[in-house]
Structure 1
């Protein structure tokens, strides 16, 4: 009988010292018999909103009667959330078997490439027709660029994030993401401003048809608002709806708009208090979050040190007078200096931090938990341990 997956080994396969880009992923897929040739995929790229857009696309395709796979990252509570077939998470036994194979046949491969390979093997074996494929970081330089059969590319938006990898300006980051475009393959986006200008340039160079709310307003029109909360979700919903219609799955739009997604302004009621959990982890995302949540009695915040902490935190300071800071992982921004600088409390352990933040929240009040998907996953696990 197969034992539990060796997640520690898998998580230790960091990108450091390994090739970044589609080359290594393509070589790994070829070694496995090119399982990605068995299905078509919708690539979802962008700075924020990818997960929500993927959730809506998945729901829409399911409603349209398609056997659908979905590949997303990171996971919140369980690794197998990253790979779903017809809405069901991967069986951990299949993870365990793949890790055992990888230890002997691909010990030098990176974590994301391995996970992508496992997903493709699963989708091919399970007869998936269409895969909703979320990019990890970037577009042209992301491992998902290695995939062969792409039916559409959907770009949510572009803002400053992963600057050490993608570039230090919005146009530079956009150029990498836009180069996910393929000749003759529809490229849809709700990006605006300078980002859209770069997208127009790149798609013209590549020969990809560009579809936007301005060029094709009927494609992006929404019959009603999405179930996911926040004005930013309307743009994600419009992108998902347009993608479904472009590919001939317009009858799935209503189901797409009814989709939910964990840790996207997800609401819990705890002891007469409202807990809102959101995975916003960069300035663009927290600005959108603060517009959707104009007031919270208490803020629980923790982020990774590689992010722009000050710019990410600033939009949240105005909406919450009481702040608790924590460390969502080994590479987190230390909470103590944040507490000193922004007049708050510090607990390195997210569980202890959540307990104090909840205690500080008055009956009937609201606690907002944000700053990192890792923090969102930890707190969600306390409230929804299944």
Structure 2
């Protein structure tokens, strides 16, 4: 019998360690990738002895929180404030998660912050998850800079999320719907209570969900938060040219529509303006900065329409709530003969409900696998499509792409079809080359799918010839 192989301890990067080496190390230092709770993080935070400066906004929500963060950042930068923003996950580079005045922080600065957290973690013999460790590092980095505002996006839930270790001056809950039920609870009421955990007594609590769970309202009232509810304390109105915001004591008229596309963006925009109204004594913002902020805001992967033909739409949505809004946004785009969907989802997401929401808007499904412990294979996706009632025939889009590349004649596809691919990059290359220029391509289902499609697009652009 072979002796048991001793478990190898993770090796901390040396003085010349790269950011990728550090990130690999951080993935291995805790027994679970997700381990809800604030106790471990607070032990290390006390050892590091730092606090955030500036007005702190904490943003939670099932969908819309990233877009809301981006709008807040854009408006505050236009108003001349120095702003730190922390979001997750990233699409391509880890540095996307930490920005100061819209610029990603340098890798060297992040590594220095990692070393600071690692020393405190070692001194206190505390184990941290990847997200806890990186959240502490970014927060410490922000604390070393004189910032007027800090925007923190919740990673998962709210009450026990790492960003909730830091007190907020204004909490925002954008929406509450079913996602991450294994960690947050089985229904909207339990999930809403988790998200409301970012509220603070006496501080503004902005709720952008038009129909929030009662648990959100009850928790705000129980702790004495200053509850701002959509349709009661703030609202919006508009026509095709412009829109207006109305708050408790402030109106903003003749506003430009946010540069971010999608049917839900005015809800997010009005929640952002309510948040700014609630702290206007500390961060006054002129009307022109609001207009410019909305015009210039960028947030990749959120109903992002790429230039050129065929039309390509990137959307990181990954739950039924997001799929329902995506359906509306697709309907508002005008006519396309056929819609193709490059589609992949993680195994813990409700693929059947997502497909149900989009089934009659998608003509051709192009299924891609996602790797890792939470990944879902194309075989599993086919089963999910069947459960959702998709019975479209298979079609060789790969063969069509190859025929076109050789100058041959492609086969006529059926009205509807399904095909599986080995990777997102293969699917993106095939579909963008094989479909007619007037068709529409939707890349959807996960941050991973969108990120890999963006990388595939860049690889195609760099090909010689």
Alignment-derived partner of residue 351 in structure 1: 425
Q: Which stretch has the larger CA shift, 217-226 or 373-382? A: 217-226
What CA deviation, in whole Å up to 9, does each residue of 1:323-382 have, x standing for no partner?
101123322221124246344111131111212222342122211000001111111123
Work out whether 1:84 is the aligned partner of 2:122.
no
Match of 1:262 among 300, 311, 319: 300
Aligned pair in 2 of structure 1 residues 317, 268: CA closer, same or farther (>3 Å)? same
Q: Is the 8 A contact 1:244 1:253 kept in 2?
A: no
Shift of 1:101: 4.9
Shift of 1:193: 2.6
Q: Is the 8 A contact 1:171 1:198 kept in 2?
A: yes
Q: SS of the residue aligned with 1:193?
A: coil
Work out whether 1:161 is the aligned partner of 2:193.
no
Q: 1: CA distance between counterparts of 2:171 and 2:17?
A: 38
Aligned pair in 2 of structure 1 residues 378, 125: CA closer, same or farther (>3 Å)? same
Q: 2: CA distance between counterparts of 1:303 and 1:203?
A: 34
Match of 2:42 among 8, 12, 26: 26
Q: 2: CA distance between counterparts of 1:303 and 1:28?
A: 35
Alignment-derived partner of residue 375 in structure 1: 449
Work out whether 1:284 is the aligned partner of 2:321.
yes
Aligned pair in 2 of structure 1 residues 13, 357: CA closer, same or farther (>3 Å)? farther
Q: Is the 8 A contact 1:73 1:134 kept in 2?
A: yes
Q: Which stretch has the larger CA shift, 363-372 or 343-352? A: 343-352
Q: Is the 8 A contact 1:39 1:124 kept in 2?
A: no
Aligned pair in 2 of structure 1 residues 357, 18: CA closer, same or farther (>3 Å)? closer
Q: Is the 8 A contact 2:117 2:136 kept in 1?
A: no
Alignment-derived partner of residue 360 in structure 2: 318
Q: 2: CA distance between counterparts of 1:56 and 1:178?
A: 21
Q: Is the 8 A contact 1:71 1:83 kept in 2?
A: yes
Query: Which runs of 5 or more structure 1 residues have no equivalent in the other structure?
Result: none
Shift of 1:257: 1.9
What CA deviation, in whole Å up to 9, does each residue of 1:230-255 have, x standing for no partner?
11111111111111122113424223
Q: 1: CA distance between counterparts of 2:120 and 2:80?
A: 37
Q: SS of the residue aligned with 1:70?
A: strand
Higher Rg of the two aligned structures: 2
Q: Which stretch has the larger CA shift, 93-102 or 107-116? A: 93-102
Q: 2: CA distance between counterparts of 1:358 and 1:306?
A: 29
Work out whether 1:301 is the aligned partner of 2:336.
no
Q: Is the 8 A contact 1:26 1:147 kept in 2?
A: no
Work out whether 1:121 is the aligned partner of 2:140.
yes
Match of 2:210 among 180, 192, 210: 192
Q: Is the 8 A contact 1:18 1:109 kept in 2?
A: no
Q: SS of the residue aligned with 1:293?
A: helix
Q: Is the 8 A contact 1:287 1:315 kept in 2?
A: yes
What CA deviation, in whole Å up to 9, does each residue of 1:266-297 have, x standing for no partner?
12235x31111010111100110011013652
What CA deviation, in whole Å up to 9, does each residue of 1:106-163 have, x standing for no partner?
3721111111111111111122221110001111111111103x11001101000010
Q: 2: CA distance between counterparts of 1:15 and 1:133?
A: 26
Q: 2: CA distance between counterparts of 1:57 and 1:13?
A: 34
Shift of 1:2: 3.6
Q: 1: CA distance between counterparts of 2:226 and 2:67?
A: 24
Q: 1: CA distance between counterparts of 2:449 and 2:47?
A: 36
What CA deviation, in whole Å up to 9, does each residue of 1:215-234 have, x standing for no partner?
22322866342221111111
Match of 1:96 among 111, 114, 127: 111
What RMSD, in angstroms, separates the aligned Cα atoms of the two structures? 2.2
Q: Is the 8 A contact 2:319 2:350 kept in 1?
A: yes
Q: SS of the residue aligned with 2:270?
A: helix
Q: Is the 8 A contact 2:117 2:137 kept in 1?
A: no
> Where do 1:120-159 residues align within 5 Å?
120-148=139-167, 150-159=168-177
Work out whether 1:181 is the aligned partner of 2:255.
no
Work out whether 1:335 is the aligned partner of 2:378.
yes
Alignment-derived partner of residue 275 in structure 2: 243
The TM-score, its normalising length taken from structure 1, stands at: 0.92
Aligned residue pairs: how many? 382
Work out whether 1:47 is the aligned partner of 2:56.
no
